[in-house]
Amino acid sequence: MRNCLRPDARSIPMLVPYADGILAGQGLLVGAFFGVAASDAAQNTLVECETRGEFEFPKEPALAITQGARVFWDNTNRRITTTASGNFQVGLCTVTAAGADPTLRVMLARVPAAGA
């Protein structure tokens, strides 16, 4: 097809919204797009971002999260949480994390808000 620009849409360029920029491997939220930066970038510049896959992110301190739990991006603190209110759903926890763990593994996926 002539009009198909990104057949797998695995990554897209996103404009960095954060005043302190972004480092490779960090998550970023732009509107309803969530991605993981492929390289370092300054605010208001384009950075290629992965939109699918499994990634490790910082998580809310002291929060234990079980495998399969829906997880959300806290854009203010730029970390994963299980609190839905005011946050953006990014995927599912792939490996249970204890409260003492600083990071969490997440499979990026938009899943239904309720049900299986």
Residue 116 is predicted with a pLDDT of 44
Domain that holds residue 62: 54-108
Widest pairwise Cα distance in the chain: 51
Q: What angle do CA 21, 25, 29 make, to 5 degrees?
A: 60
Indicate whether 45 belongs to any domain. yes
Indicate whether 1 belongs to any domain. no
Whether residue 67 sits in one domain with residue 38: no
Whether residue 71 sits in one domain with residue 33: no
Residue 51 is predicted with a pLDDT of 92
Q: Residue-wise pLDDT tens for the chain (116 aa)?
A: 577 666 677 889 999 999 999 999 999 999 989 999 999 999 999 999 999 999 999 999 999 999 999 999 999 999 999 999 999 999 999 999 999 999 999 999 876 665 54
Indicate whether 82 belongs to any domain. yes
State how many domains the chain has. 2
- How many angstroms separate the CA atoms of 38 and 41, rounded? 9
Residue 111 is predicted with a pLDDT of 64
Whether residue 66 sits in one domain with residue 95: yes
- Confidence (pTM): 0.88
Catalogue the E-assigned strands of 8-114. Answer: 11-15, 27-30, 33-37, 46-50, 53-58, 70-74, 79-81, 88-93, 103-108
Whether residue 101 sits in one domain with residue 88: yes
